[in-house]
Amino acid sequence: MGILRLRHHLLPFSQTVYLEGKADNSQEDASCIRVPSVIIDGPSLVYNIFSRLLSWFSLHSATPIDALPTSDEISKGVMLYLLQLKLLGVKIEKIYFDGALPAEKHETRVLRLENSRRRLQLFCTETRHGFKSPKHYRGYRAIHLESILCSRPLLARYKNLPNDPFMVPTVFEDLKLRWNKEAICQIARDILPVNSLDLEDFPWATITTMVSGEADSYCGSTAKLTGSAVLTNDSDLLLYDLGTDGSVIFLDSIELTAPDPRQSTQCQLRASMLRPSLVALRLGIPNLLSFAYVLKTNPELGITELLQRSKNTQEAMEASLNYQRFAREYQGDAHSRQVMNSTQQIQFLDTRISELFWQYELPFAYMPWDSPRMYLPILNEDHTRQCAWIQGRSYRNLGYSLLNISRLPNERHTRVTEFIRRGQRIVEDTLLLSNEESIAAYTKILCDRLTSIQVEFGISNNSPQFWRIFALFDLYISGAESTSRGIQGLARFLSLGYMGERLEWTDLHLAAQVQSILYSLRILRQLIRFSELSNGLAMRLDSLLETLPPLHIMMAPVCLETREYIFSIRIDQFSEIFMQLLARNRSDYRGAAEQTMEIELSREEDVSGDHVGTNVVLSYKQSSNIYELLQEQ
C-alpha cells in the first residue's frame, strides 16, 4: 500500500523517461532518457490494467456492472501491454508475483478485506433495485492500446466498484499456461504487428515467477543487480536498496504518445522515473529510509521539516528498535531467498495456495500463530446475504486436509483459519482438518457425485457448462438454494446469466456461489498433488478435476455466450434430469454422510481441546469439521 504521501513529496524529483530499448532511438531530443529494461511488479500491473480498462469501459456502459472488466479482459490487456514493450525493444527481466506475505502484514490484509467489504456494501446499496440487462457479455469487447496505455478520469459513480477478486491469479496462470504464440496472435493480430516479432512459444512463462515472499523484495534485488527500472504503483519500492542505477517507474505515469495511438509502430511510452540513489543525494541524506520513517510517524509535516528531522535525529533514530523494525521490512526477505531455488514444484500454484504451502514450509517466517491462515477475497455478491464462500467449504477443507497429512506428524495442524465476510464484519472461520479415513470417505462421495452428473447429463467434463451445472447441483443438494425458484430458471441462468427478466442481485449472488464452489475445487485440485493417500481415490479425483477450466473461463460471467459455452440442453430435459439427480443423490448422500459420522465425531473429540479459545477477528468465530460440512453440502 505504501507510505502515505511519500510519492507526493518525492515526485518533484522525478525525471521524464521513455520506455525504449532499440538502438536506433527515434527521439528527436538526444538528452532524453531511455529505459531499455524493466522488472514488473505483477499484482501492481494487474490492478493498473483493471483501473484503466474500467475508466474506458465506463464510457459506453449502461450500468456500473457493465463497466467492470472481466478477468479474461484484464489478462488480454496485460498480454497486449507486454507485447507493446517488446515491440519497443524493452527487455523484461522478471515479472514477480507474491507467493506469501509475511506475518507482519496480517493487520494490513484484514484492513484491505474490510475496505473491499465496504465497497461491496456501498455498491449493493446503490444498485439494490437491479440492473438493466448487460450487453457487452453477448459478444467480443475490443481492447485497444489506448485503453491500457492512456489514462482518463473515472466518473464518480464508478469509483466505488469492487475489484475482480480473481484477476491476479488469472493473469499469473495465463502468463504461465495460456499465452503462447498461437493464442497471442489470435487476440493481438488486429491490434499489434505481431508478425514482426520473434515470439517464443510461451514468451513470458519463464520470466513470470511466484516468489516465496513479497514481490517487492525480489523486484528490488533484481533492480540492484541489473540496473533496471521497476514498474509498479507501490511507493514502498523506493525504500529498497536498488543500487546506484536501479529506479522506479510508476505504472500510472506511463502514457502512450503517438499521432495515432492505434498505430503501434509509431508509439512511444513516456513515463516519470524516480531513482532513489539520486533523490537521496539531492536531499542530502544517505537513503530514503530515515525520511520515510519520519514521514510515517509524522504524516502531517511538510518536506522541509521532514528533512530537518531526518538529518538531525539520524543516529538516535537508527538506534531505536522501532526504526530497526521499520527498516528490516525493506532489507530483503532472507528466509524466502534461501529456498527460492527449490520452489519449482509450486510455480504453477494459485497465489493463495502458494501462501498456504509456505506457512507449512517456513512457519517461523509466515506462521507465528498456532494454525495456517487463508485470506479469501471479497466476492461480488449480495452483501445482505450469507457470504458465498460458505459454499465449497467442504472442498477447501478436503484440500487443506490432504496437504496437512502430507507433512510429517510434528508439522501437522488440527485446523485452518479462513478470513471471510460475515455480515458487516471480517471474521475468522475455523475449519477442523481430518484424518485419512474421513478424507477417503468424502473423496469417494465427491467422485461419485461428479461421475453421476457427467453420466446423467451426457456432458463432457471438458465443458465449462459441466462445471457450472455441477456447482448449481451442489448448491441445491445442500439446500443453499431453494428449488422454489424453479429449475427452469437455472437453465435460463446458465444461458443468459439471470433467471428473470433482467439482471438482479439474486443472480449475481448465485454467480458468486458458483465461483466459490469452482474456486474451492481448484484449491482441492492443486493440493491433491501433495496427497499421500495410497488407495487410488486421490488419483481418481485428480483425474476428474483435471479438466477444470482455467480461471479466465471459470470466473467469466455466466452469461458469456460464445460458441464454446453455448448451453445446448433443452430446458425441459435439463429440469427432468436435475430433479431426478436431486432426489437420488440426497438419499445416497445422507447415507454416505452417516458412514463418516463416527470417524468425524472421534476426530472432533481429539482436537476439541485445542480449538477452544481461538482468537477472533471482530468478535466472531465459527468452527467446522468435515462432517458438519458434509451436512451443509
Tell whether the model's pLDDT for residue 627 goes beyond 50: no
pLDDT digits (tens, 9 = 90+) for 457-466: 888 888 888 9
Grid cell for residue 235: 511507493
Cα dihedral 395, 401, 402, 403, rounded to 10, equals 110
Among 408, 407, 441, 611, residue whose Cα is nearest residue 527: 407
Residues 6+ apart with CB under 8 A from 143: 53, 73, 76, 77, 80, 191
Residue 434: its pLDDT value, please? 93
Grid cell for residue 122: 456501498
> Averaged over 249-278, what is the pLDDT?
85
Q: Is the pLDDT higher at 517 or at 344?
A: 517
Q: pLDDT-based confidence at 231, cuts 50/70/90?
A: very high
Tell whether the model's pLDDT for residue 366 goes beyond 50: yes
DSSP 548: P
Residue 609: its pLDDT value, please? 44
Tell whether the model's pLDDT for residue 617 goes beyond 50: no
Residues 6+ apart with CB under 8 A from 216: 41, 232, 234, 236, 237, 240
The Cα 125–Cα 361 span in angstroms is: 43
Q: Is the pLDDT higher at 537 or at 423?
A: 423
> Averaged over 510-518, what is the pLDDT?
96
Q: pLDDT-based confidence at 141, cuts 50/70/90?
A: confident
Grid cell for residue 208: 513470470
Tell whether the model's pLDDT for residue 69 goes beyond 70: yes
Q: pLDDT-based confidence at 159, cuts 50/70/90?
A: confident
Residue 297: its pLDDT value, please? 92
Residue 536: its pLDDT value, please? 81
Tell whether the model's pLDDT for residue 138 goes beyond 80: no
Report the amino acid identity of residue 393.
Answer: R
> Averaged over 592-611, what is the pLDDT?
47
Q: pLDDT-based confidence at 134, cuts 50/70/90?
A: low
pLDDT digits (tens, 9 = 90+) for 285-331: 989 999 999 999 999 999 999 999 988 877 778 788 899 889 988 98
Residue 563: its pLDDT value, please? 39
Tell whether the model's pLDDT for residue 630 goes beyond 90: no
Q: How many residues does the chain have?
A: 633
Tell whether the model's pLDDT for residue 185 goes beyond 80: yes
Q: pLDDT-based confidence at 483, cuts 50/70/90?
A: very low
Residue at grid coordinates 510455480: 347
Residue 490: its pLDDT value, please? 84
> Averaged over 64-91, what is the pLDDT?
95
pLDDT digits (tens, 9 = 90+) for 318-364: 788 899 889 988 986 544 554 554 455 577 889 999 999 999 999 98
Grid cell for residue 7: 510519492
Percent of the chain residues past pLDDT 90, beyond the cut = 60
Note the pTM of the prediction, 2 decimals. 0.90
> Averaged over 591-612, what is the pLDDT?
46
Question: CB–CB of 215/98 below 8 Å?
Answer: yes
Tell me how many degrees the CA angle 415-339-327 measures, rounded to the nearest 5. 90
- Residue 208's DSSP bridge partners are 95
Residue 344: its pLDDT value, please? 58
Tell whether the model's pLDDT for residue 614 goes beyond 70: no
Fold of 7-101+144-283: Rossmann fold (3.40.50)
> Averaged over 244-269, what is the pLDDT?
83
Where are the domains positioned within the chain? 7-101+144-283, 287-333, 436-601
Q: pLDDT-based confidence at 610, cuts 50/70/90?
A: very low
Residue 260: its pLDDT value, please? 58
CA dihedral (50, 54, 56, 57) positive or negative: positive
Tell whether the model's pLDDT for residue 394 goes beyond 70: yes
Mean pLDDT, the chain, as a whole number? 85
The Cα 415–Cα 236 span in angstroms is: 34
Residue 111: its pLDDT value, please? 96
pLDDT digits (tens, 9 = 90+) for 541-598: 999 999 999 999 999 886 664 334 455 667 677 888 888 888 776 665 554 444 444 4
Residue 136: its pLDDT value, please? 44
Lowest mean pLDDT among 109-118, 370-379, 607-616: 607-616
Q: Is the pLDDT higher at 392 or at 317?
A: 392
Q: pLDDT-based confidence at 196, cuts 50/70/90?
A: confident
